[in-house]
Structure 1
Amino acid sequence: MSLEKSVVVITGGSRRVGLHCARTLRHLGCEVHITYRSDRPDIDVLRTEGVICHQVDFEEDDSLNRWLDFLRKDAPPMRALVHNASLWLPDSDPATDYQTTIRRMNRIHCEAPYLMNMAAAERLRLGGSPLSDIVHITDYVIEKGSDNHIAYAASKAALDGMTRSFAKRFAPLIKVNSIAPSLLMFQEDDDLEYRRKTLAKSALGVEPGPQVIADALIYLLNNRYMTGRVIALDGGRNIR
């Protein structure tokens, strides 16, 4: 199934995994729209490559509402909406502002995707060929949990739950699936000991990089008979 000229919207598309997916789909001939929160050099690079960039702060009501209006009224017919925007806040320190932490996690990983799915549904129905897609990027912790990132894990689990609910709501014209990765890319300042311990958590023991997400995303867009499912990209952490 060709994706050429398909309109794909990726939230959080200005860095790391989102940036890589935006470039990959653009190189396949898609009309790619991304959201980004803050200006960064990669935004200008993406624009020169033909990616349409929208500055949106999902934590600000006015900004989010303008984006929802765009999805309802002004967005072109869409082939796919990919929820990649994420925020990773720890809550293990007793000094943590727990109310703020859980509120921010829920806003980014649950409330905003919920509202965007509702707002974009009609544009997605118009953009299918014949089917369209919503893809939630969750996390492997939806199954295992995390004692240091409880709010993060809970909000990603909510996004995972919405995968099946929206799959029921939007069938048969819109497929809804999720991808649940573990750590794919280290940060530049991660030390060797942290890297060693992290790699040892998976059976495959490698840092796979962002292409595995792009591959899974393309697979979902091309598969006409998969909805309400999760693709786990954790290197076999479940069998360690």
Structure 2
Amino acid sequence: MTAPMIITGVGKRIGYALAKHLLAQGHCVIGTYRRHYPSIDELQALGATVIQCDFYDNAQLQTLIEQLSQYPAIRAIIHNASDWLADNSAGFTAHEVMQRMMQVHVSVPYQINLALASQLQAAAQGEVGASDIIHLTDSVAEKGSAKHIAYAASKAALDNLTLSFAAKLAPEVKVNAIAPAMILFNPSDDDAYRQKTWANAMLPKEAGNQEIIALVEYLLNSRYVTGRSHHVDGGRHLK
């Protein structure tokens, strides 16, 4: 059996597009999701194995890890699952906001990477760079955020995990991060919001999922890139 690629958070946007692309390329894909969307049924019909798991529930996470541990080899883990809570989110204390952001963006990838390290190394079969971990972080991790402090801090911590796991799992496993900024607008975003967002970038355009897909393909195929964060942000750092 072909060693699968695991993608967390395949219900929508980048995770969904990436899962469809890899399935079309003939890869075995395992996707996780928290909430059910019609896209989950579509991915399943296309041949993906989809597993529901609420990453805020550690018991569910441990069950997921046990399921994934049954695979003798794993080609790649792409940590895409994310949440975006403002520091003043209704219904949550500041402590709870930080806990939730650190749980989904740091603790979950940390636990999964440790638990499945031997399966990733097995997929390498002695060839350097034959398996991968890719962390989806955020360009905001490098500059912080006034309204999403906990979110930005957790994404920065995920970026740091990239360094630690790249050193720990070399040479069999490459570990890299992708730090997007605005990739896709929501249908509800009005023209004023779009213009304001474009004004923050040197390249004022909507990137689209294909930018992330192309970078994922590059990292999967590369044999000499590890421990790096790749920003896909339209040159926002130059503003």
- Which TM-score band applies after superposition, normalised by the shorter structure? over 0.9
- The separation in 1 between residues aligned to 2:72 and 2:11, in whole angstroms, is 21
- Contact 1:13–1:34 (Cα < 8 Å) also in 2: yes
Q: 1:61 aligns with which of 52, 55, 58?
A: 58
Superposed, 1:84-123 pairs within 5 Å as 84-92=80-88, 97-123=93-119
- The separation in 1 between residues aligned to 2:197 and 2:227, in whole angstroms, is 29
Partner in structure 2 of residue 27 of structure 1: 24
- Counterpart code for 2:108: A
- Contact 2:88–2:94 (Cα < 8 Å) also in 1: no
Using the TM superposition, give the Cα deviation of residue 200 of structure 1 relative to its aligned residue in structure 2, in angstroms: 1.0
Distance 1:38 1:10, change over 3 A: same
- The separation in 2 between residues aligned to 1:51 and 1:69, in whole angstroms, is 19
Give the secondary structure class of the aligned counterpart of 1:221: helix
- The separation in 2 between residues aligned to 1:79 and 1:68, in whole angstroms, is 16
Q: 2:73 aligns with which of 63, 68, 77?
A: 77
- The separation in 1 between residues aligned to 2:74 and 2:216, in whole angstroms, is 15
Partner in structure 2 of residue 185 of structure 1: 184
- The separation in 1 between residues aligned to 2:54 and 2:148, in whole angstroms, is 22
- Contact 1:89–1:152 (Cα < 8 Å) also in 2: yes
Distance 1:67 1:95, change over 3 A: closer
- The answer to whether 1:18 aligns with 2:32 is no
Using the TM superposition, give the Cα deviation of residue 71 of structure 1 relative to its aligned residue in structure 2, in angstroms: 2.6
Partner in structure 1 of residue 124 of structure 2: 128
- Contact 1:71–1:116 (Cα < 8 Å) also in 2: no
Superposed, 1:137-176 pairs within 5 Å as 137-176=136-175
Give the secondary structure class of the aligned counterpart of 2:141: helix
Using the TM superposition, give the Cα deviation of residue 76 of structure 1 relative to its aligned residue in structure 2, in angstroms: 4.4
Give the secondary structure class of the aligned counterpart of 1:65: helix
Deviations along 1:104-139, one digit per CA (max 9) or x if unpaired, are 000000000000000110111111263210000000
Distance 1:35 1:175, change over 3 A: same
- Counterpart code for 1:61: N
Give the secondary structure class of the aligned counterpart of 2:109: helix
Q: 1:7 aligns with which of 4, 14, 22?
A: 4
Give the secondary structure class of the aligned counterpart of 1:179: strand
Q: Structure 2: any 5+ residue segments left out of the alignment?
A: none
- Counterpart code for 1:135: I
Distance 1:62 1:239, change over 3 A: same
Give the secondary structure class of the aligned counterpart of 2:116: helix
- Counterpart code for 1:36: Y
Count of residue pairs brought into register by the alignment: 235
Distance 1:84 1:95, change over 3 A: closer
TM-score by length of 1: 0.94
- Counterpart code for 1:12: G
Moved over 6 A (4+): none
- Counterpart code for 2:110: Y
Using the TM superposition, give the Cα deviation of residue 69 of structure 1 relative to its aligned residue in structure 2, in angstroms: 1.4
- Contact 1:92–1:147 (Cα < 8 Å) also in 2: no
- The separation in 2 between residues aligned to 1:134 and 1:227, in whole angstroms, is 9
Give the secondary structure class of the aligned counterpart of 1:187: coil
Aligned-pair RMSD on alpha carbons? 1.4
Name which of structure 1's ranges 123-132 and 105-114 shifts more when overlaid on structure 2: 123-132
